A and B are shown apart, each in its own frame.
Chain A
Amino acid sequence: MSKNDWPLWEVFIRSKQGLNHKHVGSLRAADAEMAIENARDVYTRRSEGISIWVIESNNVYASDPSDMDSLFEPSQTKVYRHPTFYVVPDGISHM
């Protein structure tokens, strides 16, 4: 990176129907205000969003793919976290 390049930011957008902010891509900006504005111009040109988060990419820590087993496999055995684990008597709906 030459001295005049701007840092990279990750952009997260929450859409009108969406419950969560979703990662949509990245862009360059010199500061947070500019990152928000650039995100608005680059990633919501078709009114895709109502809320924007930006975070400098070098502040993102990613999980290690070689740790995939230890990170995610344990939860696969915790079936009690899923509602279908429980038996509900017939005639009960909306639960």
Chain B
Amino acid sequence: MKEHLFEYLLRLGDDSLILGHRVSEWCGHGPILEEDIALTNISLDLIGQATSLLKYAGEVEGKGRDEDQLAFLRLEHDYKNCLLVEQLNGDFGMTIMRQFLFDAYRLPLFEALIHSSDSQLAAIAEKSLKETKYHYRHSAEWVIRLGDGTEESHERIQKAVNSLFKYHVDLFFTNHVDDALLKEGIVPEMKAIHNKWMESVKNVFSEATLEIPSNNWEQSGGRLGRHSEHLGLLLAEMQYMQRAYPNMEW
């Protein structure tokens, strides 16, 4: 059971870590000062979540690895984040759509995880839920603004949907890890989360006058460590200091 929980915590923690990293790339480059600050807040929340989740993962694993060792010293295929979060920032529309598709998944997930039979996971979920509610509100409002804004913004955000939608099934991937944890009441049924996600997406897209792509081809593999080309480069940057100067205190 321990190794299943460890695996599951890596999925949650790596999602926060990688998306937090991506969003942090916006700092200093936002479309307006106020939004620059908002994006950085989201990034800070995500990095905070990653810290708690990976710290707990290290404790569960019991091999003496702390959150930094897990965050900075694993090989690419040992990262268990979904493919969506590692995708490039692109324009602001792409970033907002990636965030929205993710928030719409994270929100019901954390809502369910606060009832987890694992009390520490439940506590992390409770703190993260408050943050995620805000992220969801922020990204959903922006999706609507951009979708129902100008012709150009509509076109750009629809393009983002078309490009990112294929990664959504990856979010709801389950295997024997989930099955085992579900039996113990540690994690919720993914099907229910998927349904809630679909409901949010439909509602927000309808208000934003956006369309779900008709092509339903899926890309997945993130939870198994099979990533896109983008993750390797992201990690090369993120791990630079720890790799170039091993075993030092900062």
The verdict on A50 contacting chain B, using a C-beta distance below 8 Å, is no
Q: Is the CB of A41 within 8 A of B41?
A: yes
Contact of B138 among A30, A37, A45 (CB under 8 A): A37
- Count of chain A residues with Cβ under 8 Å from any Cβ of B? 13
- Count of chain B residues with Cβ under 8 Å from any Cβ of A? 12
The verdict on B34 contacting chain A, using a C-beta distance below 8 Å, is yes
Contact of A27 among B34, B41, B138, B141 (CB under 8 A): B34
List, in ascending order, chain A residues with CB within 8 A of B41's CB.
41, 45
Q: Is the CB of A28 within 8 A of B141?
A: no
> 8 Å CB contacts to B: which residues of A1-34?
6, 27-30, 33-34
A33 to B32, CA, bound (A): 16
Q: Is the CB of B34 within 8 A of A41?
A: yes
The chain A residue sitting closest to B35, CB to CB, is A38
The verdict on B123 contacting chain A, using a C-beta distance below 8 Å, is no
The verdict on B137 contacting chain A, using a C-beta distance below 8 Å, is yes
The chain A residue sitting closest to B41, CB to CB, is A41
List, in ascending order, chain B residues with CB within 8 A of A38's CB.
34-35, 37-38
List, in ascending order, chain B residues with CB within 8 A of A40's CB.
134
B140 CB to closest chain A CB, in angstroms?
11
List, in ascending order, chain A residues with CB within 8 A of B226's CB.
none
Known: A33-B141, A37-B137, A37-B138. A28 touches B32 (CB 8 A): yes
The verdict on B65 contacting chain A, using a C-beta distance below 8 Å, is no
Q: Is the CB of B37 within 8 A of A41?
A: yes
The chain B residue sitting closest to A42, CB to CB, is B37
A33 to B37, CA, bound (A): 16
A59 CB to closest chain B CB, in angstroms?
19
List, in ascending order, chain B residues with CB within 8 A of A41's CB.
34, 37-38, 41
List, in ascending order, chain B residues with CB within 8 A of A28's CB.
32-34
The verdict on B145 contacting chain A, using a C-beta distance below 8 Å, is yes
B127 CB to closest chain A CB, in angstroms?
14
- Contact bitstring A35-69, B, C-beta under 8 A = 1, else 0: 00110111001000000000000000000000000
A6 to B32, CA, bound (A): 10
What residues of chain B have their CB less than 8 Å away from a CB belonging to chain A?
32-35, 37-38, 41, 134, 137-138, 141, 145
What residues of chain A have their CB less than 8 Å away from a CB belonging to chain B?
6, 27-30, 33-34, 37-38, 40-42, 45
Q: List 17 A-B contacts (CB under 8 A).
A: A6-B32, A27-B34, A28-B32, A28-B33, A28-B34, A33-B141, A34-B34, A34-B141, A37-B38, A37-B137, A37-B138, A38-B34, A38-B35, A38-B38, A40-B134, A41-B34, A41-B38
Q: Given A6-B32, A29-B34, A38-B37, output 9 extra A-B contacts at Cβ < 8 Å.
A: A34-B34, A34-B141, A38-B35, A38-B38, A41-B37, A41-B38, A41-B41, A42-B34, A45-B41
